[in-house]
Amino acid sequence: MNFQGARAVRDLFVAALIFGLSFTSNQALAQDNGAIHLGVQTCAASTCHGAVQPWQNSVVLQNEFVVWSTHDAHSGAYKALQSDRGKRIAARLGIGAAHESGTCLQCHADNVSEDRRGNNFDITSGVGCESCHGGAENWLGTHVSGLSDRPTLVSLGMYPTDDPVKRAELCLGCHQANPDRIVSHRLMAAGHPRLSFELDTFSINQPAHVRIDDDYRQRKPVTDGANLWAIGQAVAAGNQLRALAKSMRGRNHLFPEFTFFECGSCHHSYTNAKWSPQPGVGLGPGEPQLYDANLVMLRAIAEGRDSKLADTLKSQTRALHRATRQGASAVARAADTLAGTVDGMTRNLVENPLREADLKATLATLVSRDHSSDYVDFGAAEQATMAAAALLDSLGRSAPQQLESLYEATESPTRYSSSGFRSALAKLRDYLN
């Protein structure tokens, strides 16, 4: 076997260890359309997307490349693998150089196979235009002709980033678990940052390289921040549940994959016990709890719109938590059931977007005392903080001091205190009343 071949086999082996046996180095992502990727330079000409300043008379900004290369973390994703931290993680995992390992490149670059790399393709560009917009081989010609409409381009393989469900699947493919990519505790233990994601916040922070104006609205549907938030929660919960079910089914070892659990249910000091039973979860102190932050958010949305759905979510979530006492196949079954409910909710959110009254009700539920037992763990508190920001913004309300307190209370998972979070939440509750 030659060196490349040996490396590919080793990458597959390591990928299987890190992602569970389901993962192979060439697993298709949501946005993978099978086409040749032409490379960031192909998009970056000054009359295309590489202008220094936004163009005033153009339908798109045209400085997307400059925004991406100077302000967007994705352009540095490959370089992160060559940083001290990147090298340290790879050394601990024993996978050779991080920047040559498919295990890392899957998320840190546009890692299509060699035969799908065009002349200008450069792996060191990191997460480039085609990682999100899809390989351009079949749509570039029509796209530069300027005559094509959006549906035509999408039919030629351009990824529908404007569709909120598709966008969530795209981002979550690298930012959280999905059934094809189960991020392992081993990767975290080797020093990788903990992954957390919220679609609206991260879409703003990327930073966005679009201008939403009249002409954009003519070409594409626009989803406001609160609805992006809600759909992002539903897609994340569905992904997580299907990944959990898959991982539990294929299990032939003693321990389940720890990343499906709240990090803080194991990683907290035992000399300073928190001893907080969680009625919503149905488990007692001392029992590790599955990460359920997205489900907590979905329940808050349901409570204001459909109390029957809220009850179903509550009882099925509780059943899932309690199934962890019974074993792997009980967890897989409960996760499948709940995933069905969540998928129905995703469809409903697309067909009946949240309106002002729903946003107010959801925010009131999230900050209410009744929900305080949901914030024993860091995960739900972190999501509730990003939710509050998205909901306040969509309601046109500003509460900078109250949000600041929430951000402070969720700054670090290891220093998190639920009582500190609850008092920050009470400030927002008082302000809203």
> What's the closest the beta carbon of residue 269 comes to ligand HEC, in angstroms?
14
Phi, psi of 290 (to 5 degrees): -60, 150
Q: From the list 12, 17, 91, 188, which residue makes contact with ligand HEC (rule: CB under 6 A)? A: 188
> What's the closest the beta carbon of residue 397 comes to ligand HEC, in angstroms?
24
Nearer to ligand HEC, 290 or 309 (CB): 290
175 binds ligand HEC (CB under 6 A): yes
What are the start-end ranges of the E strands in 263-346? Answer: none
Alpha-carbon distance 44 to 39, whole Å? 9
Angle at 246 between CA 333 and CA 99, to 5 degrees: 155
Q: Which stretch binds ligand HEC (CB under 6 A): 79-87, 228-236, 270-278, 310-318?
A: 79-87
Extract the tokens encoding 94. 């024993």
Q: Which residue has the tokens 């040996």?
A: 6
Alpha-carbon distance 433 to 418, whole Å? 22
> What's the closest the beta carbon of residue 147 comes to ligand HEC, in angstroms?
15
Q: Is 97 exposed, middle or buried (0-12, 13-18, 19+ CB in 10 A)?
A: middle
Q: From the list 73, 144, 273, 357, which residue makes contact with ligand HEC (rule: CB under 6 A)? A: 73
Of the candidates 220, 177, 83, 65, the one whose C-alpha atom is nearest the C-alpha of residue 128 is 65
> What's the closest the beta carbon of residue 116 comes to ligand HEC, in angstroms?
15
Binding track over 120-159 against ligand HEC, x by CB under 6 A: -------xxx-xxx--------------------------
> What's the closest the beta carbon of residue 169 comes to ligand HEC, in angstroms?
9
**318-344: string of b/e by CB count within 10 Å (b at 16+)?**
bbbbbbbeeebebbbbbbbbbbebbbe
90 binds ligand HEC (CB under 6 A): yes
Nearer to ligand HEC, 160 or 304 (CB): 160
- Taking a C-beta distance cutoff of 8 angstroms, is the pair 355, 370 a contact? no
- Taking a C-beta distance cutoff of 8 angstroms, is the pair 252, 328 a contact? no
Q: Which stretch binds ligand HEC (CB under 6 A): 20-28, 71-79, 358-366, 399-407?
A: 71-79
Of the candidates 381, 353, 354, 350, the one whose C-alpha atom is nearest the C-alpha of residue 167 is 350
Q: Which stretch binds ligand HEC (CB under 6 A): 139-147, 164-172, 364-372, 386-394?
A: 164-172
Within positions 19 to 58, which residues make up the interface with ligand HEC, using CB under 6 A?
40, 43, 49
Count interface residues toward ligand HEC (CB under 6 A).
Answer: 66
- Taking a C-beta distance cutoff of 8 angstroms, is the pair 19, 181 a contact? yes
- Enumerate binding residues for ligand HEC (CB under 6 A): 40, 43, 49, 60, 64-65, 68, 73-74, 76-77, 80-81, 83, 85-86, 89-90, 93, 98, 103-104, 106-108, 127-129, 131-133, 161-162, 167, 170-171, 173-175, 181, 183, 185, 187-189, 192-195, 202-203, 205-206, 209-210, 216, 219-220, 258-259, 261, 263, 265-267, 288
